[in-house]
Structure 1
Amino acid sequence: MTDAHIVSAHPEPQSFTAGWARASVDAVRALGGVAEHSDLYALGFDPAERGTLYDTADIAERRFDPLKVQQDAAARGALPSDLVEQVSRIKRADLLILHFPIWWFGPPAILKGWMDRALVHGVMHAEDARFDRGPCRGKRALICVSTGCSAVECRPDGREGDLRLLLWPLAQTLRYCGFDVYEPVSVHSVHGFHEPPQRLALEQRLSATLAGQTDLLAGLEQRPLWPFNRDADFDAEGRLLPDAPSHSPFVRHV
């Protein structure tokens, strides 16, 4: 088993999401890997990127430019301490596992903020180091997500919308940094409004998911990767070539 960084985003320590993240930690260690876990809520991670988090020396102009400030701070070894820890964990890990629920058709704000801040410009990506040349190439990522709605409602024809499309911006962010991204793992109808006997059935289903996490991670090499276009699929202006495949409505022929 490779070394992993597990990042989880749920404010309740006894939630299924939190338990699922702990199951990933246990599974990585049981398989002989090293697991580091960042529970963003427990850490009190600040998701709002802004100039006051940096030394004033990093802000050469009155206007705060996040990309320039991140790059300059990283080059000087002056990143905020919370980012130093997160960057180190990402660098050490061969596998990044994200655990979170879908809230309002996207991940919780704290996870989006983690990506805004921890995927530091100049370290995890740069203008000439992204996508196929991203610094995280060779690393892989797995998204483990829960929804409150049913699996049917998360289909392309479901009333909640296609879950893959909701997750695509997050997956594309990882791809931008060079990660290969596995097909996501999703668990549905996870909410606190079930009544017996539905509640018992839910608890049994969730328990089976937790118990099966070791097998899931042990079999990752056989799990399909989420398909993305390669750099060679685009022309010099960044437009999809006519004969290149389209893997998503987000990047398609028009």
Structure 2
Amino acid sequence: MNVLIVLAHPEPRSFNAALAARACDVLRQAGHQVEVSDLHALKFKAVLDADDFSGEREDAEFLRVDREQTHAHSSGGLAADIVAEQEKLSRADLVILQYPMWWFGMPAILKGWADRVFTRGFAYVPGRKYDTGMFRGKRAMVSVTTGTSADTYAPDGIDGDILDILWPVHNGLLRYSGFEVLQPFVSYMPRRLTPEEREAELDRFAQHVLADVPRLFFHPQEDYGPEERLRPGVIARSGFQHNTDR
């Protein structure tokens, strides 16, 4: 199996970096091929702009991102750093996103990686999303650290259910582009761990990575009507979705 780990933390000695390193080690020991994109070490450009398009533009006067991405993908005009990450994604059977929860979302550098690498034409096209997404057959998993406790991310916690917080990544990025999304790994408040607890948490992650991790549930296409809303009688079971007649 080919695995891509995308690490988004600016400190090489961080717990996020340690988690990524442990996953890399145990996966390689198990015989898998592993690539790591350490976005800060790569000095990956987070901002999508006109410099993403190295070839002749479709419209040099007005930057419409979706059209320019499609044109650049088909004509070989994407910037080299984008192409390098797309090649890693193409090789990967499993993608692990490793990052700290900042302001209830991904760090800017990882959001920028998604903005720039998941281009139209490569990661999605009209009519190819969710069940029929471009990355159908690949798996993806989020591994995230938090600054607050598991209680705050409980369904009745002040921060909200962790799966709801992760919905934009799980559904809006990964499932949208066709991935089978695995149950996330969440390390709550790692900064408060003792050295012994830290090692135990790293071991827990190693076991999670090597296990047959359950898939998150997403409603299949047949549960939706022509307006892409859940059909009457289908009980909402995933993420932020809820039935409006209840």
Tell me if the contact between 1:11 and 1:41 (Cα under 8 Å) persists in the aligned partners.
yes
Give SS of 1:5's match.
strand
Residue in 2 aligned with 1:211? 203
Q: Distance in 2 between matches of 1:120 and 1:71?
A: 7
Q: Does residue 153 of structure 1 match 2:152?
A: yes
State, as a whole percentage, how many aligned pairs show the same letter.
35
Q: After TM superposition, give the deviation of residue 227 of structure 1 in Å.
A: 0.7
Conserved 8 A contact 2:167-2:239: no
Show the 5 A alignment for 1:17-166: 17-55=16-54, 57-60=56-59, 62-166=61-165
Letter in 2 for 1:186: V
Per mean C-alpha deviation after superposition, the further-off stretch among 65-74 and 238-247 is: 238-247
Q: Which residue of 2 aligns with 1:188?
A: 188
Q: Aligned partners of 1:209 and 1:190: how far apart in 2?
A: 8
User: Deviation at 1:33?
Assistant: 0.7
Instruction: State the AA in 1 paired with 2:198.
Output: L
AA in 2 matched with 1:242: P
Letter in 1 for 2:214: P
Residue type of the alignment partner of 1:178 = G
Aligned-pair distance for 1:243? 2.4
SS at match of 1:41: coil
Specify the SS of the correspondent of 2:112.
helix
1:97-133 CA-to-partner distances (Å, cap 9, x unmatched) read 0100101111111111111111111111111211111
Q: Which residue does 2:240 correspond to in 1?
A: 250
* Cα deviation digits, residues 142-195 of structure 1 (max 9, x gap): 11111010111111211222221111100011000000001111011123xx5x
Q: Which amino acid aligns with 1:238?
A: E
* C-alpha deviation, 1:249, in angstroms: 5.2
**Equivalent residue letter for 2:2:** D
User: Secondary structure of 1:157's match?
Assistant: coil
Q: Partners in 1 of 2:223 and 2:145 — Cα distance? A: 33
How far apart are 1:40 and its partner, in Å?
Answer: 0.7
Give distance in 2, aligned partners of 1:67 and 1:229. Answer: 27
Size of the alignment, in residue pairs?
243
Partner in structure 2 of residue 227 of structure 1: 217
Partner of 1:117: helix, strand, or coil? helix
CA contact (8 A) 2:55 2:72 kept: no
Where 1:38 maps in the other structure, the secondary structure is strand
Q: Distance in 1 between matches of 2:161 and 2:33?
A: 34
Question: Is the 1:8–1:39 contact (alpha carbons within 8 Å) kept by the matching residues of 2?
Answer: yes
CA distance in 2 between counterparts of 1:160 and 1:121 reads 33
Q: Please, which runs of 5 or more residues in structure 2 have no aligned partner?
A: none
RMSD of aligned C-alpha atoms? 1.5
Decide whether aligned partners of structure 1 residues 101 and 238 sit closer, same or farther in structure 2, where only a CA change above 3 A counts: same
